[in-house]
A and B are shown apart, each in its own frame.
Chain A
Amino acid sequence: MTEQLGKRILRKEDPALLSGRGRYADDLPVAVGTLHAHVVRSPHAHAEILGINTAKALAHDGVWTVITGQDVRKLSDPFLTAIKTPVQQWALAVERVRYVGEPVALIVAESRYLAEDAAELIEIEYEPLEAVLDPIAACQKSAPLLHPQAETNQVSVRDFSYGDPDAAFARADRRIAMTVPFHRLSFTPIECYVVVAHYNPAKGSYDVLANFQGPFSIHPVMARALRVPGSKLRLRIPPDSGGSFGIKLSVFPYVVLMALAAKITGRPVKWVEDRIEHLVAASSGPNRVTEIEAAVDKDGRVLGLKLDQLEDYGAFLRAPMPGPLYRMHGAVTGAYDIAHVAVTNRVVLTNKMPASLIRGFGGPQLYLALERLMHRIAVELKLDPLEVIKRNLIGAPKFPYRAAAGALYDSGDYLGAVTETTGGGRLDELKRRRAAARKDGRLYGIGFAAVVEPAMSNMGYLSTLLTAQARDKAGPKNGAVSMATVNVDPLGAISVTADVTVQGQSAETVLAQIVAGELGLEPGDVTVVLEMDTAKDQWSIAAGTYSSRFASGTAVAAHMAAVQMRDKLKAIGAKQLNVLPDDVELAGGKIRSRTNPDNALPFGRVAGTSHWSPVMLPQDMAPALSETGVWSPPELEPPAHDDRINTSLTYGFIFDMCGVEIDPVSYAVRVDRYVTMHDAGRLMNPMVAEGQIRGAFAQGVAAALYEEFIYNEEGAFLTGTFADYLVPTVAEIPEVEILHMESPSPFTPLGAKGLAEGNCMSTPACIANAIADALSVRDVILPATPRRIHALLRPPQAEKAGKP
């Protein structure tokens, strides 16, 4: 074989994307007669729907139908959810609206313009109800109920205990506690949602194009809502994507809605979400309030940890929520060797848009609390924050390491990574800059964050939210299947399909590297086709692009398929070369004898044999050159009886260090220096890895300093445009120094781990710690906007009375 992994190979995706030849969902042609839909949305945060009069809208030019919640209730079932509660959600609001922007009606017309004109004619009578926005207030008995039949807004509470946390707290020298909120935000893809739905009445089946990203565990949710078997919901995913970051999962209620519209009208129906709709109602990360407390000895060693995590999922709990609360569960102790842990997980519903998948998925919320606490321990014990981190890190000899809550950390050298990052004069330079700034009276701080980055989720982790008895009753859930197929055509051309959706992670490039390497070819010889069709492609409930599963999952399956194909070609070649299979190698586009390289056949010639002359194949060999690799690692066990759960397959490590200065004119936080060290096991393509790290870093900075969904107390949404919801541009993102270590994972044949979410988890915590250091404050609320920094530095009571 020719080694292709580890090379900085240029992205195969780029020539098309950079020359305007991407094929995005909205670019694909639609059938003649396709209708266009417009969603009418709630202006209220909480209200009863007293009546909807659609007559005038229906009478408008070009309008085919107006669909309301009553129609949806008749024609479909509520979406399946992870928690059994009386909370029901359909594709349109039924009887009540629970957040501003909630879909209330769908107008289907001959053009989007006509549909929007008709929307102004629809008459909806609301009876406003009191709204509750704050997650803590929503837990109080007096709070208005979003779903009265559930009798509470706090729809799930689970207590977990690992080791003996009470004893650890009893013997500790100090207990140090903090309350750490994490805000609501989204990572806004350039491309919004697109759905084109067809209904075939002859077959009773739906055919839907949507820029859905997975996980495909949601396909059954959609099929069930539409009351069809999965085979009658053909879902096609376009070949290119304008970004997702987790957000494109939440297109699924609209897939169902447009499918129903196609059924009702008898015509294909297309809907393209616009930016206003996207910001107000597409998806959001959940906001969380964490009460975190450490039992520590006088040297800053953490003996025990307690977390009470209250997570706010907005108005509904959509599958697969409350994922962010449980995805990190096994790794709740982060990078630290802490044996005794108590965790309370609480899920609350409020009058905000439903929260769902977002890059980082539970990591940012956990690590902001954990890393702020580690920093606080140092401050309270008058120790060096870096020293406190080092004293608590899991030692290198302990790997594979079973964390208290069940995660099986595969490999790493955390202390080595920290030492390398702070070495080379980097930390000294930061300290020099801080000392110089402070001497001038400027506000400058240094922050650190140590983070374990999980990749490839155990499909069973969400069942941790059930009790052990309930799990036993429901049957085991665990594992994660990955699939990829390698085909060789009669002339020796290679094509690859796989169970990932395209959303910018360079899967096309890396899959070509993997397969070409095993077959002795160049990546340019391999065609990768990743548009997906659930009727014809291989997929499992774990399919899709999420939870950084590519490196630890699909890449392995592709490697397995390539090895199977390689061995098959070796056997075929051996017969033709008249040597033993063990003497055959694939290299430089040839299949040849290892000991006598002149005894060689072109790759295509051997491949052709299988197609043109199957009788010439070795005995017992199946013809056809199509090999599928299926990968399901044994480490992903179901939750144990004591609630320990190995939530992911691989666990990378990140250590971040930064210096920030508060701008004396603008009160903006300026990131002066930022260093991020990654150990993601073996790097398959360092250039792609760097791209992923830079992207996650930008979004980490966005979460720390810019992006926030803001509602007022009545539930009005205040960040409905890009003038209010501030996505930083390249001009706002500071430079970052990227370092790597490689501790290959022993649990995957390639040794590679996911790395695309890490800085979404580490960067907000690192910047927050630096701000706390700069301002000598205990509480840092993110995003740390000039408005918030100004309020800290010049508190309002210092103002002249009577000012606005």
Chain B
Amino acid sequence: MKPRPFDYVQPETAEEAVALLADYGDEARILAGGQSLVPMLNLRLIEPAVLIDISRLAAFGAIHDHGDYIEIGAAVTQNTLLAWRELKLKLPLLAAALPFVGHFQTRNKGTVCGSIAHADPSAELPLALAVLGGAVVLRSKRGERVVAAEAFQQDMLTTAREPDELVAAVRFPAIEGKGVAFNEVARRHGDFAMVAVAAIADRRGAVMLGVGGMAGRPMVRAVDGDAAGAVREWAEELEGYEDLHASAALRRDLLCNLAPRVIEEAKQCAA
């Protein structure tokens, strides 16, 4: 469990970071919190020529409140966001979801953007970004582009990021006057969810439901009326998948058991 040899670079500016990425492309990896990257290095699952450490770049260290959305820089850790004093007011869904992300210790290092960039299908932060309809800011030497969440995460560990781009920030829409709820089923506290569910309800009872752990990426759908029936139908459509801890059938039943409760909680929260 030792990595192959690699170079380590600590750029001093964001421009330098993207310039390095332009040079190395596929051969480089961005190091922010390292909570997924370092284990993959040690397992020799990846073999980068260079690590570009952006964790100390001031340009990526901020949480910006733009009014209708909150922009979170690439070096902001999960615990920094969890401690942000406006979180409950502006991003209540993240306030609900972040405590499920890993453990206190891993949240001290793990970044919000790192989780989005890693794109695990059952991770909480990509699910929250998807159900909120957020966006990802990608920067390269060529410039900057903003990609909607639904277009960003394409499949398991696969995103729209080009090799010379880094995830510079993510944008979570601020929501007001709506109710939110988040819950998941995992084997242990802090594990990746078997099934995770996020819901946003408006005062008239219209619900946006997001689900993680049922497909290669978080799935989102509007649910009106009979929540239990709609969820059952959606679960059959999604099918789910099998791994060591859950059969596809268990995943479908977990979704059917969990989602109506989360929807109800979001509705009550909205009322």
Contacts and interface: CB of A to CB of B under 8 A. Distances in A.
A601 interface: no
B189 A732 contact: yes
A112 interface: yes
Interface of B: 1-5, 43-44, 185, 187-192, 194, 236, 239, 241-242, 244-250, 253-254, 257-258, 261
Given A719-B244, A804-B241, A665 B188 contact: no
Contacts of B257: 664-666
A299 interface: no
A787 B246 contact: yes
A666 B195 CA distance: 10
A794 B253 contact: yes
**Most chain A beta-carbon neighbours within 10 Å: one of B236, B241, B245, B249:** B249
Given A728-B188, A731-B190, 12 more contacts: A113-B3, A116-B2, A116-B44, A664-B257, A666-B258, A668-B185, A706-B188, A710-B244, A732-B189, A790-B250, A803-B239, A803-B248
Interface in A662-693: 664-668
Interface in A772-804: 785-787, 790-791, 794, 796, 799-800, 803-804
Contact of B2 (A113, A668, A786, A804): A113
Contacts of B242: 804
A117 B4 contact: yes
Closest CB pairs A-B (n = 9): A731-B189, A274-B1, A665-B257, A666-B185, A790-B250, A113-B2, A116-B2, A804-B248, A726-B187
Nearest to A113: B2
A664 B261 CA distance: 12
A718 B43 CA distance: 16
Contacts of A668: 185, 187
B4 A790 contact: no
Interface of A: 112-113, 116-117, 120, 274-276, 664-668, 706, 710, 718-719, 723-724, 726, 728-729, 731-732, 785-787, 790-791, 794, 796, 799-800, 803-804
Contacts of B261: 665
30 contacts: A113-B2, A113-B3, A116-B1, A116-B2, A275-B1, A664-B257, A665-B185, A666-B257, A666-B258, A667-B253, A667-B254, A668-B187, A706-B187, A706-B188, A719-B244, A723-B191, A723-B192, A724-B244, A728-B188, A729-B188, A785-B187, A786-B194, A786-B245, A786-B250, A787-B250, A790-B247, A790-B250, A790-B253, A796-B249, A804-B239
A36 B253 CA distance: 50
Nearest to B194: A786
Contacts of B245: 726, 785-787
Contacts of B189: 729, 731-732
Contacts of B185: 665-666, 668, 786
A775 to B, nearest CB: 16
Contacts of B248: 803-804
A718 B244 contact: yes
B188 A787 contact: no
Nearest to A667: B250
Contacts of B2: 112-113, 116
Contacts of A719: 244
A275 B1 CA distance: 8
A276 B247 contact: no
Contacts of A667: 250, 253-254
A510 to B, nearest CB: 33
Given A665-B254, A718-B244, A731 B188 contact: yes
Nearest to B247: A787
A668 B245 CA distance: 12
Contacts of B5: 113, 117
Contacts of B192: 723
Nearest to A710: B244
A781 B242 CA distance: 20
A781 to B, nearest CB: 15
A723 B193 CA distance: 11
B8 to A, nearest CB: 14
A785 B194 CA distance: 13
Contacts of B187: 668, 706, 726, 785-786
A706 B5 CA distance: 37
Nearest to A111: B2
B81 to A, nearest CB: 22
A723 B36 CA distance: 12
Contacts of A732: 188-189
B188 A803 contact: no
Nearest to A708: B244
Contacts of B239: 803-804
Contacts of B1: 116, 274-276
B157 to A, nearest CB: 14
**Most chain B beta-carbon neighbours within 10 Å: one of A724, A726, A786, A796:** A786
A16 to B, nearest CB: 23
A472 B138 CA distance: 80
A799 B249 CA distance: 8
B250 A729 contact: no
A62 to B, nearest CB: 12
Contacts of B4: 117
Contacts of A665: 185, 254, 257-258, 261
B7 to A, nearest CB: 14
A771 to B, nearest CB: 17
B190 A786 contact: no
A728 B191 CA distance: 11
**Most chain B beta-carbon neighbours within 10 Å: one of A117, A791, A796, A803:** A803
A112 B185 CA distance: 39
Contacts of A796: 249
A794 B246 CA distance: 13
A625 to B, nearest CB: 49
Given A723-B192, A729-B190, A803 B254 contact: no
Contacts of A112: 2
A786 B236 CA distance: 20
A221 to B, nearest CB: 29
Nearest to B186: A666
Contacts of B249: 790, 794, 796, 799, 803
B247 A791 contact: yes
Nearest to B1: A274
A800 B252 CA distance: 12
Contacts of B3: 113
A185 B2 CA distance: 26
A800 B249 CA distance: 10
Nearest to A665: B257
Nearest to B188: A732
A718 B244 CA distance: 8
**Most chain B beta-carbon neighbours within 10 Å: one of A274, A667, A791:** A667
A785 B188 CA distance: 11
A724 B187 CA distance: 10
B190 A666 contact: no
Contact of A786 (B44, B191, B246, B258): B246
A725 to B, nearest CB: 9
A463 B241 CA distance: 50
Contacts of A718: 244
B73 to A, nearest CB: 28
Contacts of A800: 236
B241 A666 contact: no
B192 to A, nearest CB: 7
Nearest to B236: A800
A158 B91 CA distance: 67
A666 B188 contact: no
A106 to B, nearest CB: 16
**Most chain A beta-carbon neighbours within 10 Å: one of B5, B187, B261:** B187
B3 to A, nearest CB: 8
Contacts of A791: 247, 250
Contacts of A117: 4-5
Contacts of A799: 249
Contact of B254 (A666, A723, A726): A666
A419 B204 CA distance: 58
B4 to A, nearest CB: 6
